[in-house]
Structure 1
Amino acid sequence: MPTDLSAVSHPASFRDAQFEPRQSTSRFIADALRAAIVEGSLLPGEPLRQDAIARQFSVSAIPVREAFRQLESEGWVMIEPNRGAAVSLQSADEAREIYEIRASLESLAIGIAIGHHTPETLAESKRLLEAAENEPDPTLYVVRNEQFHMSLYAPANRPRLMELIGQMHRRGERYLRLKLGLPIHKDSSDAEHRAIFDALVARDIEQAQTLVARHLLATGELIHRFLADAQALAQSSHVKKKRRASNRTKTPKADQ
């Protein structure tokens, strides 16, 4: 079945992008596919048909292949020889590890940044905090969440550290949406964000680092449990279906 990308947004300006360097086109396609995965238009394990995607974007196969390779390097897509590309499966262990890495990187970043914040940067962080608190759309909340977190660390002036943190945010987007499925989890995240911001304003490095790490590690554990439980349930259901199918194929012996 061809990949259905009808739900993916394609700005009218994309026609102009085709006249830019090929790298820009492949990046545009990668961004659109990543958004479709995050939003659930493309599901875990779903095949990505290169020819269908090329037709959808009115491009050759080359930028599509480059987009696949970019997404594979970020963990969004898996490419297998002779089978092509597919959306990566969600992994409980990967989700937990992403948040463990984030906890380490972001506690380091806020410790460096805290002494360099100004009234202006604090005001910007507060604005982004409130924007996240008031955002009801889970897709947009993911964006607001990243913006708030990155504003905490920006004054550190560590571009390579910020790049690594940004990569981990992108890899964790699809997992964060699982946490946001229940309003109570958004409420708890908002409260934790507020506490981190208060520690930042107080210039309390130890408290800020502790709260950031605790916030991220708890999120990783929550998502790990959710995915592990879902996987166990799916396996149990699969075993029961096989057992029922096996029983249906058995016929009683005829009386002699």
Structure 2
Amino acid sequence: MPYITAKDGTKIHYTDWGTGPVVVLSHGWPLSSEAWAVELMLLADKGYRAIAHDRRGHGKSDWTWDGNDMDTYASDLNDLIEALDLHDITLVGHSTGGGEVVRYAAQHGVGRVKKIFTAGAVPPIMLKSDSNPDGTPIEALDAIREGVATDRSQYFQDLAVPFFGANLEGAKVSQGSKDDFWRQGMRMSIKGAYDCIKAFSETDFTEDLKALDVPIFIAQGDADQIVPIKAAALKSIELVKHGTLKVYPGAPHGIAGDYQKELDQDILAFLAD
């Protein structure tokens, strides 16, 4: 299995398929690079070099005690991109991964990043506050922490339902998709899972979004029950210089089913533009 070693010695696992223009994909919480399996195969088949890594604490990467924060995640991504000497990159990030690629692009990726595509991404900031009334209350985030700390196996089974919108009328999410969410979640460390909640919810990406000077496609479903669209995509599009917003009617947070098919076609179109 391919790994790179980050600055602090952490081993970061990645998948690298295909040849051609480079696309780097960053996954959501509590998943791994396997969440991008369909896209990795699709992109490689369409003539792209598709790369996806496991964030530290997730999947096959090292389960570190320290460094489970957004600055370190972005630094790890920078170490991967420098180790592979990648240029003219299109970044694709889902949920927490959307925050990771935005921070990387703003703080490390100038001169390397060509385009950015986010889906259900956490920027500009997820936590509810007086200045962000549409965000997620701290009590809801504390409940996630409690679920992870006490019985994460059952919690991930329960969370898969709103993640994929399986509780919505007419939902067609498969049991397999929900089972795979649980499987990937159980392959990350409990410490990484716990710490990452603060990283994805309390990191403020406002200045990162303002600093971006490359095209960014901001995608989100209007039935997202995990990241509130009013605090995310609808605010992010107002902060970037070269943004395109697409709202997917009835689409959930998790990428699956008809939403995945439409999103993948939009990724391909964005790459070809």
More strand by share: 2
What's the TM-score, normalizing by structure 1?
0.26
The structure whose Rg is larger is 1
What's the TM-score, normalizing by structure 2?
0.25
